[in-house]
Structure 1
Amino acid sequence: MDIPKHSILKLQKALYGTKQAARCWWLYLKKILQGIGFQPNGEDQSTYCYDTKQGKAILWIHVDDGVLTASNSELMDAISQKMNEALKMKWDEAICGLVSLSIIPSGNGYKFHQKDLISKLKTLKLSNVTAKAPLPNSCDLK
């Protein structure tokens, strides 16, 4: 394709890494999840609920990672099949970590910790930072 010098092109979709890309991805994913039967949680837009005669399921999404839990394995299989039809997905049944959170099976539950993240934060020596964070409401950023 020959494009004349100093031309302006209009993109037909968001490019990865641009400011609007994350929102475009979220809107696309939300549409797919609602088509499957999930409803966004009114309190937390990263959590979706699925409630049918088959059972209940909860899906938590962070960018392109997520956790799905369901009241029974048949529902879990049905949902994962529907999601696979709509999206290219990689499923891992044995969760061991997510978003800097280590997840360890323990008895009839799980233990969570963030030792790696804490160690990384300690190397930044954030306790030596004197600037106030977050900024006070009265701060004028103009």
Structure 2
Amino acid sequence: MACFNRWQVSSLDVSGTYLYSPVEETVLIEPPTTFLPHLKGKVLRLKKALYGMKQGGRCWWFFLSGILERMGFAATEVNQSLYLFRNDQELIAIWIHVDDGVVTSNSLGAISRFKTALCGELGIKWSDQLTHIVSLNCAFGEGEVTITQGHLNNGILEAYARRIIKCDAPLPVLPAGSAIPNQDALDPTPYRSVPKAKHWLLLDHVVGYLLKTRAHRIRLRPMSLSLSLWSDVGWGGDLECRQSGFILKLGDAPIHWSSKRQTVVALSTCAAEYVALSSTPGAGNKSTRQKIHQYNFLQQSGGGTGFNQQPLQEAHEVS
């Protein structure tokens, strides 16, 4: 949406995230007597969250939500990490992932005021450009953004000790992936501890595909804000897993995709296609649900100048 409307996209990084978050519950800890020997034999009450606490992330979320709500932001209905601020003329959208955030707006003045207000509450490292977020590298051009995973892929390739051969596909056409051939029922708990040579070959294939495609990029350049959903299922060609997948596009830009084993047994190709398209909890991919979520977000945000409030279009399956 930001690319389509030519909005500025900024990024922020909160320093010492959890240390801002107050702990409302009574939590007692043993003091580090190596550094504070005079506290030996005493306990301390924890007032701020610490890294490593199971509830640390929750405390931080409550604290940050309170700050944003006081500024007039509200979390979207479909994504509690995405906040919107709207008035008659301005829109600000901010997405938060722990201590990282992405901010975009139709007004440079609104971004400047938000930056000043947030820096008054927290220690913020602010950048007027988004270059990376959650292991993704981003490069913005005129009305487009290019996304790569070079840093993440290179880390996997450097840590892999076996010989790597480039491969053109993620997996062979018909991988034999069963850990144990058909036989009497065995205890299933140790199945991950008995990898066979064929499993190492499959892993080699996956890593080889990463090597071959580590320079591949996804270019997001939406020419419109219309949503389209495509789904498919390998009902007859995938005898073991019955996997299905979908891709959701905003204009011609892919924004969400998934491939997953179906959790509902389908008795025909047609039924399997309906399962792939379904938004029920047992369907696995929840493709239609994702489209509804994205549509609701565009409605809440107004979609800038390119969203025409058209009703949802159902995906058509060809068997």
Task: Write the distance in 2 (CA, Å) between the matches of 1:121 and 1:44.
Answer: 30
Give the 5 Å matches for 1:1-142. Answer: 2-5=38-41, 7-121=42-156, 123=159, 131=192
CA distance in 1, matches of 2:40, 2:139: 57
CA displacement at 1:69 relative to structure 2: 0.4
Q: How many aligned positions are there?
A: 130
Stretch deviating more after TM superposition (33-42 or 10-19)? 10-19
d(CA) in 1 for partners of 2:74 and 2:103?
14
- Taking only the aligned residue pairs, the percentage that are identical comes to 30
Aligned-residue Cα RMSD (Å) equals 2.7
Gaps of 5+ in 1: 132-136, 138-142
SS in 2 for 1:68: strand
Residue identity in the other structure for 2:142: G
**Contact 1:54/1:75 (CA < 8 Å) preserved in 2?**
no
For 1:134, the equivalent position in structure 2 comes to none
Larger gyration radius, structure 1 or structure 2: 2
1:6-53, Cα deviation, whole Å (9 max, x unpaired): x44332222222212111111111100111111011211111011112
Give the SS at the match of 1:90: strand
1:115 partner amino acid: G
What is the TM-score when the length of structure 1 is the normalising length?
A: 0.78
Letter in 1 for 2:138: I
Distance in 2 between the 1:26 and 1:104 partners? 29
Distance in 1 between the 2:126 and 2:40 partners?
Answer: 45
Please give the TM-score of this superposition, normalised by the length of structure 2: 0.37
Give the deviation of 1:112 after TM superposition: 1.1
Structure 1 residue 4: deviation in Å?
A: 4.8
In structure 2, C-alpha distance between the alignment counterparts of 1:20 and 1:56, rounded to whole Å: 32
Q: Distance in 2 between matches of 1:69 and 1:77?
A: 11
